[in-house]
Amino acid sequence: MELIQKKFKSLNLSDPFFASLIEDYKEFSQWFTKKAEDNAYVFEDELGNVNGFLYLKPESGPIEDVVPVLPNKNRLKVGTMKINAHGTKLGERFIKKIFDHALHNKASEIYVTVFPTHEALVSLFAKYGFSKAAEKHTQNGTEHVLVKDLSKLQDSLVKSYPLADLANKNFYLLSINPQWHTRLLPDSILKNEDADIIEDISHTNSIHKVYLAAMNGMEVLRPGDIILIYRTTDGAGPAHYRSVATSIGVVEEYRSIHSFVSRDDFMRYCKPYSVFSDAELDQFWARKRYPHVFRFTYNAALKRRVTRGEMIEKFGLDPGAYWGFMRLTRDQFNSIAQAGQLNESIIIN
């Protein structure tokens, strides 16, 4: 299923998907009709039935209809979010889309109101650093106001997402071949123009990634290490100009393929966040040619691609070094991120 934007007026409010929202919110039908010309993100199945719905609204000023009142800030409001999970990663895709929009709109906070009875939804938001800041009392009952501060690190890498903490961290350039890069990092596809982080290019647009590689030295990766993804040349021109830095990630975990006790153990770990097919994973397990297995968060695409030539000539990277997996200095990383017009708000020095 693809995540697409649709106007409210093009959606069928009598779709069974909306029944629980109509039941929870007495004013929902009227509100939905008023939003006719507004856009929402929608997941639809093959038959056109809605399986996910997300409405986002930038706001500024205090939030006065909650207790306690929340102070004046630029915020992104998660107006409505509902998912029919069915064992998929729809919730995570919505969370990534929420963060993408918040950064795009330079919001300092994100907030959402949720009935505490929706435990799975509350848990999903909590996983990514949302916490209760207030309550909202209406004719529908009492909702919790969950807030995510986009300027503060929290007590875990995932709760801090999309922020990247650079203090006392190691920095590495990690090369990925074009065929895997397009699958793994869909909004970092090489384009002639700047990447639009708001566009949902592929169903693989998720926060967490699992990747396998065979490059020397990768066993040094540790949680919190910062990786600069480097897309190798597509053959359409010299690597000096066509190999480019595209995006930033943070390592969650490194494992050797030999640490898995069985194929099933390996598949359970890789499958939820891997872009590889079952057949490819089976082959990787059988041959053990890619011994390095690591999970990372995909924090941001560079708006401008930085070429190999620029990294050598301007930022001092060694042209004779092994560019498959290469240590960077903090200054080199910062210079490349700045040249790539990385959203500076995600970087905590």
pLDDT number for residue 184: 76
pLDDT number for residue 56: 97
Instruction: Tell me if 230 sits within 8 A of 176, measured CB to CB.
Output: yes
Ordered by where they begin, the domains of the chain are: 3-152 (3.40.630.30), 163-348 (3.10.590.10)
Angstrom distance (rounded) from CA 281 to CA 210: 11
How far separated are the first and last CA of the chain, in Å rounded? 38
Q: 295 exposed, middle or buried (CB, 10 Å; 0-12, 13-18, 19+)?
A: buried
Report the amino acid identity of residue 84. N
Report the amino acid identity of residue 303. K
pLDDT number for residue 188: 52
CA distances to 8, 10, 46, 109, 260 from 102, rounded to whole Å, are: 21, 25, 30, 8, 38
Give the dihedral of Cα atoms 26, 29, 35, 41; nearest 10 deg: 90
pLDDT number for residue 187: 53
- Map tokens 């990447």 to a residue: 195
Report the amino acid identity of residue 34. K
Report the amino acid identity of residue 202. S
In terms of Cα–Cα distance, which of 230, 201, 194 is closest to 341? 194
pLDDT number for residue 267: 96
Strand, coil or helix: 294: strand
pLDDT number for residue 348: 87
pLDDT number for residue 192: 37
pLDDT number for residue 193: 32
pLDDT number for residue 190: 46
Instruction: Tell me if 55 sits within 8 A of 79, measured CB to CB.
Output: yes
pLDDT number for residue 36: 96
pLDDT number for residue 44: 86
Question: Nearest-5° angle of CA 42, CA 45, CA 46?
Answer: 135
Which residue stretches of the chain have pLDDT < 50? 189-203
pLDDT number for residue 206: 82
For 201-243, the pLDDT digits (tens) are 443 568 999 999 999 999 999 999 999 999 987 766 667 768 8
Interacting residues of 46 by C-beta distance below 8 A, sequence separation 6+: none
